[in-house]
């Protein structure tokens, strides 16, 4: 099973005898039984049948690939290639799931080791004792650990290996002991990666030295092979200990070597241990000796604290905010839920904790803020992992998820683009460039419409599902309108007004250009203001009149610069009825954005083009039925609405506009006047002109 080996065909083998069938069934049955009730979707596609392959199919294939082979030669990279060849799927798709496949492969290899050992015992064959020792070690799960304490003790004179006396570790330095152990581990188990370690030197009563080496690994390590290699190649006697205490780990070993106790006085401890970490500097010892905090550890510490104080005849300490962390996580109670406070009160009352109830009564108004901060602690690792991913990485992840709309949203989006004469390839390419490059001059996507209800927002609303809780929406307050912007990955200004009333136009121009801008924040909670230089792309929907008429608080020069910063897609054909109950599918939207780009190779499954058309009566088909019919070139030019829809409202003529009803003014006279003349001669405001233009838009829709 070395790298580059030819992919074998998957044999269908039955147990050789009754003992094998009883002691070790088919290697994949255990995994298949666990996945039978809930088969996890891995997003892998069979290129021949077009059927999705879940965890069950992958586990079955892996089990048959490793069955009967030498388990010491199994490598995940070679298995991934053989799995792709056996299932006839793309190697890149399998490599993208390497972490899940490696985890599943470890369980399958363990089962195969048990099966091979049972087979050899049942057949009573003469085998290599060393091979059986390896199999027994792989079978014994107690010999596997992610954290180990190695002790290099001074040997007795009578101890020897192959007639050679064992080496006294006192002749080595701390660093040399660590390097010897690392090189031995790399040769004994090359797949295991040492994450961090600390080497302490302590003195025996006779003056000789011994070493303690605290180790943490990225996966369980079989320490018997490691110990054997150290004895045979370096003549070092080494013992391995696993701390049996519950929740023990690397911090427990560091505490044993670093903190004085009744048996270890402070002057006997090592004051300058050798610290090493694979990822950056090793944390300080006063940090490494502490157990990582979580909701579970907080609950356990609270229980232990109550018991200790009760044994001393004391009452429990006062409850603080941290007491509610395990409660919120255990009940999945989030502050954004409308019943957050009532449910929390119900839970605390049912628990009978009077101190927690008293704290809740005093801090009822601030519990939602406390809940938000506690959930930030709980989700810190996931949030950091999310922030380390690019926008395109998140889009690829969304494209790998199953479709949630059955193709309805996809065809509704295509119908909207086709009805309005927009090129789909150009539209999705602009969105891709905005996500890739971020905000910059000319990279802001702006969807405009004249009549309303053109379906513009439906093309961008999947952003909320691709970037959950990371979309900055249209601010409504003039006080600190951009205060939440630094925490978001994408900006979606739906039905926006380019008038400078909420955000000054000069600040909007800097925002759209990609330049740094200063965001004002309340000075009672912060010192100074925020310098924002992030590249979150901006998507906007607005009325076309916002780009034709200079709004309030906007100078003509600012208005001209605004138009140069936008990439406008105009929607001219409205829907007569809205598309109700339309599911905004993150998978379909992401596939449209990534199709034809370099990131498309990371997406498994068929391209968007082969998704079947919506069935009769669906939202997309209903929307298409009620959409305005395409303009027929043979219709007479006398149709006022047809000529009107093709012209800018600034260029209306008497032939285009009929007499105005209820206004007392001739429509032809108004259409011949410029916007400046309407403002200066008739004293019309910008709002009045917009209302008048929309009145004519309504007439055109009715006549159509």
Token couple for 564:
């140069």
User: Which of 140-144, 228-232, 405-409, 654-658 is predicted least confidently?
Assistant: 654-658
336 located within any domain: yes
pLDDT at 51: 44
395 located within any domain: yes
pLDDT at 325: 93
434 located within any domain: yes
Out of 135, 161, 191, pick the residue that ends a domain: 135
Predicted TM-score of the model (pTM): 0.57
Out of 135, 153, 174, pick the residue that ends a domain: 135
Residues 541 and 448 in one domain: yes
Q: pLDDT digits over 11-66, tens only?
A: 333 333 322 222 233 333 333 343 333 344 455 544 444 445 667 778 888 888 88
Residues 451 and 504 in one domain: yes
Q: Is the pLDDT of residue 197 over 80?
A: yes
Q: Is the pLDDT of residue 10 over 80?
A: no
Q: Percent of the chain having pLDDT more than 70? A: 71
pLDDT band at 199 (very low <50, low <70, confident <90, very high): very high
pLDDT at 158: 54
Comparison of pLDDT for 699 and 209, the residue scoring more = 209
427 located within any domain: yes
Q: pLDDT digits over 65-115, tens only?
A: 888 888 777 888 888 888 888 877 878 878 877 777 877 887 788 778 767
248 located within any domain: yes
pLDDT at 612: 38
Choose from 101-105, 205-209, 277-281 the range with maximum mean pLDDT.
277-281
Residues 309 and 439 in one domain: no
pLDDT band at 672 (very low <50, low <70, confident <90, very high): low
Q: How many residues does the chain have?
A: 704
pLDDT band at 1 (very low <50, low <70, confident <90, very high): very low
- Residues spanned by the domain of 667: 640-703
Cα–Cα distance, 166 to 179 (Å, whole number): 18
Q: Is the pLDDT of residue 539 over 90?
A: yes
Residues 440 and 582 in one domain: yes
Among 402, 668, 459, 468, residue whose Cα is nearest residue 582: 459
Residues 373 and 448 in one domain: no
The whole-angstrom distance between residue 380's C-alpha and the CA centroid of its chain comes to 12
User: Which of 10-14, 218-222, 588-592 is predicted least confidently?
Assistant: 10-14
Comparison of pLDDT for 401 and 206, the residue scoring more = 401
Q: Can you tell me the mean pLDDT for 135-147?
A: 57
pLDDT band at 226 (very low <50, low <70, confident <90, very high): confident
Cα–Cα distance, 441 to 561 (Å, whole number): 10
Q: Can you tell me the mean pLDDT for 457-478?
A: 90
Cβ–Cβ under 8 Å, residues 299 and 311: no
pLDDT at 78: 84
Q: Is the pLDDT of residue 293 over 70?
A: yes
DSSP string, 620-645: HHHHHHHSPPPPPTTS-TT-HHHHHH
Q: Can you tell me the mean pLDDT for 452-473?
A: 91
630 located within any domain: no
pLDDT at 277: 94
646 located within any domain: yes
Out of 135, 163, 185, pick the residue that ends a domain: 135
Among 494, 447, 450, 448, residue whose Cα is nearest residue 694: 450
Cα–Cα distance, 255 to 60 (Å, whole number): 44
State the chain's mean pLDDT as an integer: 76
Q: Is the pLDDT of residue 667 over 50?
A: yes
How many other CB atoms are there within 10 angstroms of residue 47's CB atom? 12
**DSSP 3-state percent helix, strand, coil across the chain (nearest 5):** 50, 10, 40
User: Which of 213-217, 229-233, 639-643 is predicted least confidently?
Assistant: 639-643
Residues 374 and 417 in one domain: no
pLDDT at 654: 40
Choose from 118-132, 263-277, 426-440 the range with maximum mean pLDDT.
426-440
User: What per-residue string of b and e applies to 336-363 under the rule 16 or more CB within 10 Å gives b?
Assistant: eeeebbeebeebbeeeebeebeebbeee
Q: Is the pLDDT of residue 544 over 80?
A: yes
Count structural domains, the chain: 5
Cα–Cα distance, 674 to 671 (Å, whole number): 8
321 located within any domain: yes
pLDDT band at 490 (very low <50, low <70, confident <90, very high): very high
Q: Is the pLDDT of residue 550 over 90?
A: no
Q: Is the pLDDT of residue 525 over 60?
A: yes
Residues 305 and 430 in one domain: no
User: Which of 234-238, 290-294, 627-631 is predicted least confidently?
Assistant: 627-631
Output the domain CATH number for residue 283.
3.40.1310.20
Q: Can you tell me the mean pLDDT for 451-460?
A: 88
Residues 407 and 268 in one domain: no
pLDDT band at 219 (very low <50, low <70, confident <90, very high): confident
pLDDT at 72: 73
Residues 510 and 659 in one domain: no
Residues 686 and 606 in one domain: no
Q: Can you tell me the mean pLDDT for 522-547?
A: 85
Q: pLDDT digits over 631-647, tens only?
A: 333 333 333 333 333 33
Cβ–Cβ under 8 Å, residues 686 and 559: no
Report the relative pairing of strands 144-152 and 238-241 from DSSP bridges: antiparallel
User: Which of 85-89, 210-214, 597-601 is predicted least confidently?
Assistant: 85-89
Residues 516 and 606 in one domain: yes
Output the domain CATH number for residue 436.
3.40.50.300
DSSP string, 320-367: -GGGGHHHHHHTT--TTSTTHHHHHHHHHHHHT-HHHHHHHHHTGGGH
Residues 306 and 411 in one domain: no
pLDDT at 102: 78
pLDDT at 696: 43
């Amino acid at each position: 099973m070395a790298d580059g080996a030819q992919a074998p065909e998957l044999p269908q083998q039955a147990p050789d005898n009754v003992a094998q069938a009883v002691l070790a069934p088919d290697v994949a049955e255990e995994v298949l039984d666990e996945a039978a009730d809930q088969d996890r979707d891995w997003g892998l596609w069979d290129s021949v049948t077009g059927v999705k392959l879940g965890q069950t199919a992958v586990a079955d294939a892996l089990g048959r690939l490793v069955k009967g082979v030498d388990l010491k030669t199994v490598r995940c990279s070679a298995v991934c290639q053989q799995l792709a060849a056996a299932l006839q799927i793309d190697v890149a798709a399998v490599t993208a799931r390497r972490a899940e496949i490696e985890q599943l492969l470890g369980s399958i290899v363990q089962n195969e080791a048990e099966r091979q050992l049972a087979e050899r015992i049942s057949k009573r064959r003469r085998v290599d004792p060393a091979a059986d020792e390896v199999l027994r070690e792989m079978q014994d799960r107690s010999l596997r650990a992610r954290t180990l304490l190695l002790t290099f003790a001074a040997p007795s004179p009578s101890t020897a290996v192959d007639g050679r006396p064992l080496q006294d570790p006192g002749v080595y330095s701390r660093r040399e002991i660590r390097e010897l152990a690392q090189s031995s581990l790399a040769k004994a188990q090359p797949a295991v990666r040492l994450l961090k370690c600390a080497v302490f030197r302590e003195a025996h009563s006779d003056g000789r030295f011994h070493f303690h080496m605290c180790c943490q690994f990225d996966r369980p390590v079989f320490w018997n092979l490691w110990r054997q290699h150290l004895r045979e190649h370096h003549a070092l006697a080494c013992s391995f200990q696993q701390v049996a205490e519950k929740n023990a780990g690397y911090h427990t070993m560091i505490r044993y070597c670093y903190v004085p106790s009744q048996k270890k006085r402070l002057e006997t401890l090592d004051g300058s241990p050798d610290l090493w970490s694979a990822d950056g500097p090793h944390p300080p010892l006063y940090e490494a000796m502490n157990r990582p905090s979580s909701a579970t550890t907080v609950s356990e510490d609270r229980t232990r604290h109550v018991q200790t104080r009760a044994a001393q005849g004391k009452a429990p300490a006062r409850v603080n905010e941290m007491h509610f962390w395990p409660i919120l996580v255990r009940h999945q109670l989030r502050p954004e839920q409308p019943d957050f406070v009532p449910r929390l009160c119900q839970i605390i009352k049912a628990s009978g904790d009077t101190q927690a109830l008293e704290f809740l009564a005093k801090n009822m108004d601030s519990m939602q803020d406390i809940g938000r901060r506690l959930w930030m602690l709980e989700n810190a690792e996931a949030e950091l992992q999310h922030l380390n991913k690019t926008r395109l990485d998140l889009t690829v992840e969304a494209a790998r998820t199953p479709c949630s709309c059955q193709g309805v949203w996809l065809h509704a989006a295509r119908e909207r683009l086709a009805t309005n004469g927009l090129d789909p390839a150009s539209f999705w390419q602009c969105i891709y460039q905005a996500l890739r490059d971020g905000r910059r001059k000319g990279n802001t996507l702006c969807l405009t419409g004249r009549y309303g209800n053109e379906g513009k927002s439906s093309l961008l609303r999947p952003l909320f599902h691709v970037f959950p809780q990371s979309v900055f929406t249209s601010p409504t307050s003039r006080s600190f309108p951009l205060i939440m912007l630094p925490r978001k990955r994408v900006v979606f200004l739906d039905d926006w007004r380019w008038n400078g009333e909420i955000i000054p136009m000069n600040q909007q121009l800097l925002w759209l250009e990609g330049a740094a801008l200063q965001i004002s924040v309340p000075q009672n909670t912060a010192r100074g203001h925020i310098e924002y230089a992030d590249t979150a792309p901006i998507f906007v929907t607005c009325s076309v009149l916002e780009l034709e008429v200079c709004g309030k608080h906007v100078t003509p020069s600012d208005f001209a610069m605004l138009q140069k910063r936008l990439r406008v897609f105009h929607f001219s054909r409205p829907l007569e009825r809205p598309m109700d109950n339309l599911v905004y599918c993150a998978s379909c939207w992401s596939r449209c954005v990534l199709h034809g780009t370099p990131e498309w190779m990371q997406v498994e499954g068929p391209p968007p083009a082969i998704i079947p058309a919506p069935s009769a009566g669906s939202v997309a088909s209903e929307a298409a039925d009620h959409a305005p019919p395409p303009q027929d070139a043979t219709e007479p030019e006398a149709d006022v609405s047809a000529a009107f829809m093709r012209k800018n409202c600034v260029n209306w003529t008497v032939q285009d506009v009929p007499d105005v009803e209820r206004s007392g003014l001739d429509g032809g006279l108004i259409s011949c006047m410029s916007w400046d003349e309407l403002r200066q001669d008739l004293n019309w405001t910008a709002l009045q002109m917009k209302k008048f233009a929309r009145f004519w838009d309504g007439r055109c829709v009715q006549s159509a």
